[in-house]
Amino acid sequence: MAATLDYDALLAPDLPPPAPVWKGFPPYNFIGGNVDAASMPVEDMIAATATALRREGATLATYGLESGPLGYRPLREFVAAKLRKRSGLAVSPDNVLITSGSNQGLDLVNEIFLRPGDTVLVEQFCYGSALARLRRLGVRPVGVPLDGDGMRMDLLAEKLAALASEGVKPKFIYVIPTIQNPGGSIMPEARRAELLGLSAEYGVPVFEDECYADLLWTGERPPAIAALDDGNRVIHCGSFSKTVAPALRVGYIVAESGLIARMLACKHDGGTGALEQMMLAEYCRTHFDAHVDRVTAILKQKLDAMTAALEEHFGTAAEFVAPEGGIYLWVAFPETVDAMKLAAASAGAGIAINPGPEWSADAAPARSRIRLCFGNPTVGEIREGVKRLAEICHREFGIPLRSGNIERA
């Protein structure tokens, strides 16, 4: 019998560790960008798919649905109309590139700009997948501290000046200005203008990630940074993953034509899923606003349940600022808590949480922080999961000192 082939000896070096075997979601799942299952408009999506297929199903015979490589034109037209209405951004559909989720958008921007050894400025606490992608490319993410209004412009100016004195020019500034991930802040318009001023002064573009910007409790927000830009300094990305459904894997990039052409040359997937694009364009054309209103009302109820549970079971040991939208809550515990150890202990009890160091440009400032997603769990799961998390936190770290049924240590 021939010897078994040793694939390990043939694999490329520096691969990430193998993915674990998936065994289903844990009972209390507070991680990932999952959204509310009950909000899925299944029947309307079926109807939208059928309508689009009856009208244009024959275009599935060719790549691009006879709309070209940028993506299904009716969906690009909807994105352009949505951005004008909700973000104040006037853009042609020809400057919209449909991507396979916003993460493909991150990858395309990274591919055309970055090489090992480059530097990117990011928010100190930032989207974990964006940080992981930069590090995997050998790129240095330099964190800029935040306050309640997002990235601090005075400290960004200091970072840019310090890097310039070292002869280092960052390739771009990556920001999530509207419902920041994980912190939930909304950058005011004046600060957005300051950011554009620094971008112009140092010749560094801005990469604006607005994946959560439609999920606002009030619907009120400043214009997108790209909407304030008069010098082609901003690349803008968004997604339907949080407003409609993450498994659809449909996002978009908005940029000037030359950059879109560069990214398109690096998009080697043959095009983002066709049925997904056709369904979304048909569904969103008449249902998007009402759907977002319904979803945000559900998410606000879940956030209220989570903050109430944290206050009940953690008291002052859990510090947070309730966001004005989105699906995440960024929680700070006393310094005695090690978030990485808490995440491991919680996983053993069926509770999944995101430890803060994985969402920080530098691990130390987030050592005792966690990110909790309230998008997918039910209100009952949120209440029970937070209660059990408090019990684990008390057992492992002695906090909270008093909480519900937990006795004072």
Tens of each residue's pLDDT in the chain, 409 residues? 677 899 988 999 888 889 889 889 999 999 988 999 988 999 999 999 999 999 999 999 999 899 999 999 999 999 999 999 999 999 999 999 999 999 999 999 999 999 999 999 999 999 999 999 999 999 999 999 999 999 999 999 999 999 999 999 999 999 999 999 999 999 999 999 999 999 999 999 999 999 999 999 998 899 999 999 998 999 999 999 999 999 999 999 999 999 999 999 999 998 999 999 999 999 999 999 999 999 999 999 999 999 999 999 999 999 999 999 999 999 999 999 999 999 999 999 999 999 999 999 998 999 999 999 999 999 999 999 999 999 999 999 999 865 444 443 3
Q: Longest C-alpha distance within the chain, in Å?
A: 72
What is the helix, strand, coil percentage profile of the chain, to 5?
45, 15, 40
Cα atoms in the 13 Å half-sphere on the side-chain side of 129: 12
Q: Which CATH superfamily is domain 23-41+289-397 in?
A: Aspartate Aminotransferase, domain 1 (3.90.1150.10)
Q: Do domains 23-41+289-397 and 42-287 have the same CATH topology?
A: no
Find how far residue 350's CA is from the centre of its chain: 24
CA-based angle 279:224:179, to the nearest 5? 80
Residues 6+ apart with CB under 8 A from 112: 259, 262, 263, 266
CATH topology of domain 42-287: Aspartate Aminotransferase; domain 2 (3.40.640)
- Say how many residues make up the chain: 409
Residue spans per domain, the chain: 23-41+289-397, 42-287
